[in-house]
Every structure is written in C-alpha cells, then in structure tokens.
Amino acid sequence: MADIVIAEFMDEASVHRLQAKTPVLYEPDLVDRPDDLRAALGSARALIVRNRTQVRAALLDAGPKLQLVGRLGVGLDNIDLAACAARNIAVYPATGANDAAVAEYVVCTAMMLLRGAYRDTAAVAAGSWPRERLIGLEIAGKRAGLVGFGGTARQAAARLAALGMHISAADPFLPASHPAWQTAERLELSELFATCDVISLHVPLSAETRHLVNRETLALMKPNAVLINAARGGVVDEAALADSLRARQIAGAALDVFENEPLDTVHGALFQGIDNLILTPHIAGVTAESNVRVSSMIADIVLRDLKLG
C-alpha cells in the first residue's frame, strides 16, 4: 500500500526521490479515476495534487491516515481547507516556485494581444497579405494594471516595466506602506480598469473575487485595452467577456484558466469564432523549469513532514 499518493503529473526526479524513501503510488491520470483515487488513500499519509483533483471532505474521509496535502502550484480553490483543518491535515502550496513562469506568460500574451500581428497565418499563407489590418500597438509607453500585487504580479510588473510600461496595481490587502508600492502606482479597481492598456489578474478565487471581471468592469475598459487571466477561472464572467470581445468593446483577451476545467466542447462553444482571444489549457505556471522547482519544493516538504529525510 502507498504511503504517498500522487494524483497528477510531477517531475520524475522528485517522484524518484520520494520512491527511494517510502512506497509511492504515482499515476498522473489518477485524478480522472475517482474510485481508484479513493481506494489508494487507505494507508496514505500524503496526497500530492495539482489543480484538477478536488480535495473535498469525501475524498479526505477515504484517507484516515492523511497528514498532509501537497499542492503542485499555488491556487487552493480545489482544496477544502476547512475540511483539512478539521482533520489536522496540513496543506502546502508551492509558493513562489512558478512565479517566473506565470510572469513570462503575462508578458508574452500582453505583447501578442497589443501587437495583434499573429492571428492570420492562414491568410498570409494564402497570399492575401493583410498588412494594414494587422497593424497593432507597441507595449512601451502603455499602462499595465495588475489586479492583486503579490509575488507573481510583482515579477510580471518588473518584466513589463523593463519593456517601458507604466505599472499600476490594485490590492486592498497590501498595506499602503508596503515597499512593493515603490514600484507601482496604487489605484482603486475602477480606476485601474478605466485607465490601463493591459489588465492582468493575480487574485485567488473567493466569494469576493468571483466574477470580479463582469459586464460592468469590462464596460470601464478602453477599447484598445486587453485582459489577461492566468489566475483562476471564475474570476472572469466568461459570457460577459465573450460578448465584449465579439462587440469589439475591448481589443483582446487571453484566458489560461476557466470556470469549467478541463474546458470541454460544450463550455468551449462560448468562445468559438472570437479572433481576438487566446485560450491556453491552464499552462501559464507550467514550464519545464517551473515543474522541476514546484515538484522539488513539494517533495522536500513531504519528506520533512513525514520524517523521511
């Protein structure tokens, strides 16, 4: 029986480190086999997941010996923290380990959306040569608005500032005296939406942030502004965003996270035919390098807490 259960993909070197110390069940598709996952937890002291495994009370009940849940990432909306606390199960996210990957995703998509030159490969190959239609904007001199100004947002801000952007942020939980504000203009949320050219979301999903981006906030945005969500699905009202993009009320958007994941054909139909939209499969924080960092951090924590070091 497994002492550690890993339900989603993890860097192989970190898996091997764990396997060298104790029995480990590593099956990256275990998340898609809920009955097998519950059965596997019978003797497990640690469960390692990414964002797809729903760690709720019913799953926790299947693991009476669980001592900790390791999250290969930072978002915790798929983990019932109260249920874990009630069972004295510690929850550890890989805080900071994938900040750089997300920051680079934000910079890349911001430049692609503003420039707008990358949407017509088929037309160019067909000889239509749509130069005038693909004239876009430069990123230098524009204003970036970061909703939430934690570690990931600050790394994105540093990279965007290096490209010549003016940095603004809205974060009611970050005290005005915090030194991070020396690198960004502190704005209220409504002013940020109304004045910024690139708006990037960096908040967790909670009752307060659900549909934070909605028809009202989208209506505040400038027509040449773009929106990036590599934070959490549910922060954006997807129907409202789709309508805004189709009506050309804003210039473009990129979504890496969705209210329903994995995004299936039924929910994906909402976005069909929108040419000023980039969709990616919750991959912003996952690069070859960040996967190593995240996996190594969680492996270290598991070995420490289970006293296997």
Length of the chain: 309
How big is the CA angle at 26 (ends 21 and 28), to the nearest 5 degrees?
A: 150
User: What DSSP line would sit under 167-209, residue for residue?
Assistant: EEEE-TTS-TTSGGGGGSEE--HHHHHHH-SEEEE-----TTT
pTM over 0.75: yes
Give the mean model confidence (pLDDT) for residues 82-109.
98
Name the pLDDT band for 99 (thresholds 50, 70, 90).
very high
Give the mean model confidence (pLDDT) for residues 141-148.
98
Which single residue is written with the structure tokens 């960096």? Answer: 202
The pLDDT value recorded for residue 127 is 95
Provide the edge-to-edge strand list for the sheet that holds 198-201.
185-186, 166-170, 143-147, 198-201, 226-229, 252-255, 277-279
Residue 23 identity: P
Q: pLDDT per residue over 48-89, tens digit each? A: 999 999 999 999 999 999 999 999 999 899 999 999 999 999
Name the pLDDT band for 274 (thresholds 50, 70, 90).
very high
194 pLDDT higher than 90:
yes
How large a percentage of the chain has pLDDT more than 90?
99
Q: pLDDT per residue over 2-56, tens digit each? A: 999 999 999 999 999 999 999 999 999 999 999 999 999 999 999 999 999 999 9
Q: Is the dihedral of CA 88, 291, 155, 215 positive or negative?
A: negative
The pLDDT value recorded for residue 189 is 97
Which structural domains are found in the chain, ordered by start? 4-95+289-305 (3.40.50.720), 99-279 (3.40.50.720)
227 pLDDT higher than 90:
yes
Name the pLDDT band for 309 (thresholds 50, 70, 90).
confident
Cis ω on the peptide bond leading into residue 262 (within 30° of 0)?
A: yes
Would you give the DSSP letter of residue 5? E
How large a percentage of the chain has pLDDT more than 70?
100
Structure token digits, residue 130: 């749509």
Query: Which residues does the annotation mark as catalytic?
Result: 232, 261, 282
Q: Rounded to an integer, what distance in angstroms lies between the CA atom of residue 234 and that of residue 236?
A: 5
Q: What's the whole-number average pLDDT of the chain? A: 97
Q: Rounded to an integer, what distance in angstroms lies between the CA atom of residue 265 and that of residue 224?
A: 29
The pLDDT value recorded for residue 135 is 96
The pLDDT value recorded for residue 283 is 97
Give the mean model confidence (pLDDT) for residues 184-195.
98
Q: Rounded to an integer, what distance in angstroms lies between the CA atom of residue 150 and that of residue 4?
A: 31
